[in-house]
Structure 1
Amino acid sequence: MQIIHSFKLILLVLALCSCSSCEKTIPDNSNGEEPELPKGDVTIYVTTNNRSQDFKKQAADFSSKSNMSPTTIKLNPAERFQTMDGFGAAITGSTAFNLMKMTKENRTKFLKETFSPTEGMGQSYVRISIGCSDFSLSEYSLCDTPGIENFGLTSEETDYVIPVLKEILAINPDLKIMGSPWTPPQWMKVNNLTDLQPFNSWTSGQLNPAYYDDYATYFVKWIQAMNQNGIKIYSVTPQNEPLNRGNSASLYMGWEEQFEFVQNHLVPQFKAASLSTKIYLFDHNYNYDNMADQNGYPMKIYDAGIDSEVVAGAAYHNYGGDKAELLKVQSRYPDRELVFTETSIGTWNDGRNLQVRLIDDMREVALGTVNNGCKAVIVWNLMLDTERGPNREGGCQTCYGAVDIDISDFSTITRNSHYYIIGHLSSVVKPGAVRIGTTGFSDPGFIHSAFENTDGTYAVVLLNSTSASKSITLDDGKQHFTYEVPANSVISYKWNK
């Protein structure tokens, strides 16, 4: 790192802070000591798609001058939308394995950077699999021996996932955890609901109605077992990608099956066990995999009269269709919640190219889903290795993680777009925040979301997808400040009212 002499540093600070409303940049850490953070009325994080600013923490001061700027975004806290639950990534078996390969010191440093509300990004919501996923160390369920009495956690949970979750909870005790199954035990599967023949495969098949009660018990036992290990489960989905027969671990579950299983088996057992865990339906693509009879999947279940105490809403992925589907669901069922639970980057979409992915993923995944009503945003694997693993045949062998760790040393980390888009939300938008309205400046190249946090702070996350910088003013009605937003960048702001 370049050494900055005292005189040059003074000149730099003077140049950067010659006016009360300009940004203040953290000086380079040239001697290995922690740099003194800039002080100002507004905390700012900046990432450019060329990494010239890499989640760089800065500050700005309110302006004492009258605001006449034509590029003003004015907050309207009277216009209120959804309450936010949080943002994060999946702690798959593969992710947990890679994290446990790190030294304790390096792992703690990374987890603090990612999850600490005070020392890091403050990511606050993770997704884990109930049994195996396509990013587990093997294919398994939690009850491979027939008979629900044979339920039990496996070494993947006890040696990898649970220890990692405990470390994260020590850093962020308010972490929310969602669980999703990729497949039930094989002995619960049949080839179809007409023949009802045994289907001894991890891939595809359907849930035998004769085992609906046992499978509901499976969920309850899993939630209770995790709780006994200090892991509280905030939410579940009944099936990951219920219309996808082709994943290495998968199950087909049409909307009518899901309605029957959830309404008459899962919900009653949750209530009987006094569980507070929320249920989110569907957990699949915007376009319902182009299956005409499954179109509007969660809405069909709502129409059928599903429980409203335990069944909170629906979860979506973005591997097919358009995020506008979220607005359609919200407009029809405004009292039902929406969460976004999975998206991937990989070789097919230039996943390690931040110049491409930062802008697209911020527009479509982060701000796109939030502005369309989602109260949580969760991406896929938090961490994979540089060989895109551990992965298994039949699963995704072309996926990257939100971060990738070098398999040669399990120390060197490359941060990809998904890490930044989640971090830019979680760093300033805290659980319990309410998305609020804005008026004023509008430009197709600029997308933003504004929030009011429970601690009395405002937060704005802004995307500039254009090739030119622009001076943007944020005004909350009492105070305002101006910031020069770099080209092709994401900016997060937070300030006290």
Structure 2
Amino acid sequence: MNKLKSIRWFALLFLIMTGCSTGKGNTLDPDQEIVKGEVVTAYVTTATRSSEFVPKEISFSDRVDNMSPFTITLVSGKKYQTMDGFGTAITGSSAFNLLKMSSSDRNAFLKRTFSESDGMGQSYVRIAIGCSDFSLSEYTCCDQKGIEHFALQEEELKYIIPVLKEILAINPQLKIMGTPWTPPTWMKVNNLKDLKPFESWTSGQLNPAYYQDYATYFVKWIKAMEEHGIPIYSVTPQNEPLNRGNSASMYMGWEEQNAFIKNALGPKFKQEGINTKIYLYDHNYDYDNHKEETKDQMQYPLHIYADAQTATFVAGAAYHNYGGDKSELLTIHNANPDKELIFTETSIGEWNDGRNFEKRLIEDMEEVALGTVNNWCKAVIVWNLMLDSEKGPFRPGGCNSCFGAVDIDKATYKTIICNSHYFIIGHLSSVVKPGAVRIGTSGYTDKELVYSAFRNADNSYAFIVLNKSSMPKKINLYDGEKSFVHEVPAKAVVSYRWLTNK
């Protein structure tokens, strides 16, 4: 079966196996005549769901047209960041739901999601080090006092690791990030002045007396996961360090994080020969500046970068978008252009009309997918891959109103609703591959069009465009050698990929 025909089979199987609504007028015939010669592969999703990641082939123009008023020219000589990948979080809840599916249904869904040849090619996942608010219980990997008691727990061994192994079998190049929501409670204190024990999953601070033990905790976790065949590409020291209120959480201001990395985590990684990347912060654009205690936390990463010793240990900073504006990414990049940026969490839920697909597709594509990438993020990861139809399982005190990138019917664990986040990540990961470089564009602009261009390592080009308008918009894409015209449907996202001879 040739590549283009396999794309049609993929689209048909994608719609059947995932259970995503097919909309109207999208019955695909995998034996339909294929256009011969070089073509552009495109994927189309409309806000009305009339098309859901539907593939099509677009022929290049017979005559190169770079003079059309609608021409967007790709400028490969203008280079920005190199991409690491795109994906979702494999929380304990997501793994639990996935393992409730039949093995054949789960394998089909994971292939649709992670396969480079037969699916969307998601390439980066985030997991918790210990529990999160989407875990089956509250725990860490060392709840008995003494770092010698470290051990992976049931959630890792029974749920997370088996799912990750299935995904790695599908996509061996998958990158995995680990993040703790809380350290073992015996490492916590009420504050850094009184240093009284704080035996609570929620809030508290890390006792400086346990910096070395906590760094060893990270090392032991990375090595334990690797022993199970799970390589850890990156970590952050603390999820949402300025958020005391999550069901599992800990406050860690920039001065604390700086001290922990400089005096313990960084040197311990170096001593143990661990090359896992360390990213700072992992919280909102606005640094929770509506809270009095976080007023001095503005531009958190920049304070740590200013310490030359700590800066040698960190790759960059990670951000969420539950507060503030994505323009903060550009501010941080411009202040330290040698440091990386990644986007590690956002969710849809009842608070942001998560079931309003039209609204969420448009806003999330603009703010999360293209907005972060166009402001120097080299990875984009959204929250839970899969929740059930009752928004869970979730921990009391955590989010009880979140939806997953997909939601599965709890009654049968068969029918799946694909939400906006599944498609915005898919539109990136399907055409922009790890190692791709974001490149410049020139020419036609329209306030209703948001787009980004890339050149992959295999010399293919990728272009993703969002049309926010209620009217279709014609574009002519020109790569300096070839051109093609396509009408982007109203309120739609289209991803394109094509080979170049240059």
Range class of TM-score, shorter chain: over 0.9
Q: Report what 1:442 is aligned to.
A: 445
Structure 2 residue 426 is matched with structure 1 residue 423: yes
| 1:147-170 C-alpha deviation (Å, 9 max, x unpaired) | 000000001000000000000000
CA gap 1:249/1:466 in 2 versus in 1, 3 angstroms: same
Once residues 194 and 308 of structure 1 are traced to their aligned partners in structure 2, the CA distance between those partners, rounded to angstroms, is: 27
In structure 1, which of residues 463, 486, 489 is the aligned counterpart of residue 489 of structure 2? 486
| 2:475 alignment partner, SS class | strand
Cα deviation for residue 357 of structure 1 reads 0.2
Cα deviation for residue 66 of structure 1 reads 4.1
Structure 2 residue 189 is matched with structure 1 residue 190: yes
| 1:333-391 C-alpha deviation (Å, 9 max, x unpaired) | 00000000000100011112111100000000000000000000000000000100001
Q: Report what 1:346 is aligned to.
A: 349
The answer to whether the 8 Å contact 2:261/2:313 transfers is no
Q: Report what 2:50 is aligned to.
A: 52
Once residues 458 and 147 of structure 1 are traced to their aligned partners in structure 2, the CA distance between those partners, rounded to angstroms, is: 52
Once residues 423 and 70 of structure 2 are traced to their aligned partners in structure 1, the CA distance between those partners, rounded to angstroms, is: 25
The answer to whether the 8 Å contact 1:84/1:376 transfers is yes
Once residues 27 and 323 of structure 1 are traced to their aligned partners in structure 2, the CA distance between those partners, rounded to angstroms, is: 35
Structure 2 residue 380 is matched with structure 1 residue 377: yes
Q: Report what 2:304 is aligned to.
A: 301
The answer to whether the 8 Å contact 2:120/2:429 transfers is yes
Structure 2 residue 225 is matched with structure 1 residue 226: yes
Q: Report what 1:8 is aligned to.
A: none
Superposed, 1:267-282 pairs within 5 Å as 267-282=266-281
The answer to whether the 8 Å contact 1:75/1:437 transfers is yes
In structure 2, which of residues 314, 319, 322 is the aligned counterpart of residue 319 of structure 1? 322
The answer to whether the 8 Å contact 2:26/2:51 transfers is no
* TM-score w.r.t. length of structure 1: 0.93
In structure 1, which of residues 391, 395, 417 is the aligned counterpart of residue 398 of structure 2? 395
Superposed, 1:83-232 pairs within 5 Å as 83-232=82-231
In structure 1, which of residues 474, 479, 496 is the aligned counterpart of residue 477 of structure 2? 474
Once residues 224 and 482 of structure 2 are traced to their aligned partners in structure 1, the CA distance between those partners, rounded to angstroms, is: 50
Q: Report what 2:6 is aligned to.
A: none
Residue identity matched to 1:332: A
The answer to whether the 8 Å contact 2:452/2:464 transfers is yes
The answer to whether the 8 Å contact 2:26/2:50 transfers is no
Residue identity matched to 2:307: A
Q: Report what 2:20 is aligned to.
A: none
Q: Report what 2:359 is aligned to.
A: 356
The answer to whether the 8 Å contact 1:27/1:35 transfers is no
| 1:311 alignment partner, SS class | coil
Q: Report what 1:11 is aligned to.
A: none
Cα deviation for residue 41 of structure 1 reads 1.1
The answer to whether the 8 Å contact 1:277/1:310 transfers is no
Q: Report what 1:245 is aligned to.
A: 244
The answer to whether the 8 Å contact 2:304/2:311 transfers is no
Once residues 336 and 42 of structure 1 are traced to their aligned partners in structure 2, the CA distance between those partners, rounded to angstroms, is: 34
Cα deviation for residue 304 of structure 1 reads 2.2
Once residues 34 and 254 of structure 2 are traced to their aligned partners in structure 1, the CA distance between those partners, rounded to angstroms, is: 53
Cα deviation for residue 393 of structure 1 reads 1.0
Q: Report what 1:41 is aligned to.
A: 39
Q: Report what 1:75 is aligned to.
A: 74
CA gap 1:126/1:37 in 2 versus in 1, 3 angstroms: farther
Residue identity matched to 1:127: R
The answer to whether the 8 Å contact 2:262/2:313 transfers is no
The answer to whether the 8 Å contact 1:28/1:35 transfers is no
The answer to whether the 8 Å contact 1:259/1:306 transfers is no
Cα deviation for residue 306 of structure 1 reads 4.2
Once residues 179 and 450 of structure 1 are traced to their aligned partners in structure 2, the CA distance between those partners, rounded to angstroms, is: 29
The answer to whether the 8 Å contact 2:64/2:482 transfers is no
Once residues 271 and 98 of structure 2 are traced to their aligned partners in structure 1, the CA distance between those partners, rounded to angstroms, is: 37
Residue identity matched to 2:405: A
CA gap 1:236/1:433 in 2 versus in 1, 3 angstroms: same
Residue identity matched to 1:392: R
The answer to whether the 8 Å contact 1:38/1:58 transfers is no
Cα deviation for residue 28 of structure 1 reads 2.6
Residue identity matched to 2:52: D
Structure 2 residue 366 is matched with structure 1 residue 368: no
The answer to whether the 8 Å contact 1:141/1:184 transfers is yes
| 1:88-135 C-alpha deviation (Å, 9 max, x unpaired) | 000000000000000000000000000000100000000000000000
Cα deviation for residue 392 of structure 1 reads 1.6
| 1:288-309 C-alpha deviation (Å, 9 max, x unpaired) | 0002210010001001224344
Cα deviation for residue 37 of structure 1 reads 7.8
Once residues 270 and 496 of structure 1 are traced to their aligned partners in structure 2, the CA distance between those partners, rounded to angstroms, is: 40
Q: Report what 1:404 is aligned to.
A: 407
RMSD over aligned CA atoms reads: 1.2
| 2:315 alignment partner, SS class | strand
| 1:416-455 C-alpha deviation (Å, 9 max, x unpaired) | 0000000000000000000000001111110100000000
Once residues 430 and 32 of structure 2 are traced to their aligned partners in structure 1, the CA distance between those partners, rounded to angstroms, is: 19
| 1:252-305 C-alpha deviation (Å, 9 max, x unpaired) | 000000000011100011011101100000000001000221001000100122
Residue identity matched to 1:121: M
Residue identity matched to 1:383: M
Once residues 470 and 396 of structure 1 are traced to their aligned partners in structure 2, the CA distance between those partners, rounded to angstroms, is: 39
Q: Report what 1:496 is aligned to.
A: 499
Cα deviation for residue 36 of structure 1 reads 4.8
Cα deviation for residue 310 of structure 1 reads 3.4
Residue identity matched to 1:293: D
Note the residue ranges of structure 2 that are not aligned, 5 or more in a row.
Answer: 1-24
Note the residue ranges of structure 1 that are not aligned, 5 or more in a row.
Answer: 1-25
Once residues 369 and 496 of structure 1 are traced to their aligned partners in structure 2, the CA distance between those partners, rounded to angstroms, is: 25
| 1:249 alignment partner, SS class | coil
Cα deviation for residue 38 of structure 1 reads 4.1
Instruction: Give aligned-pair identity as a percent.
Output: 65
Once residues 419 and 113 of structure 2 are traced to their aligned partners in structure 1, the CA distance between those partners, rounded to angstroms, is: 13
| 1:348 alignment partner, SS class | helix
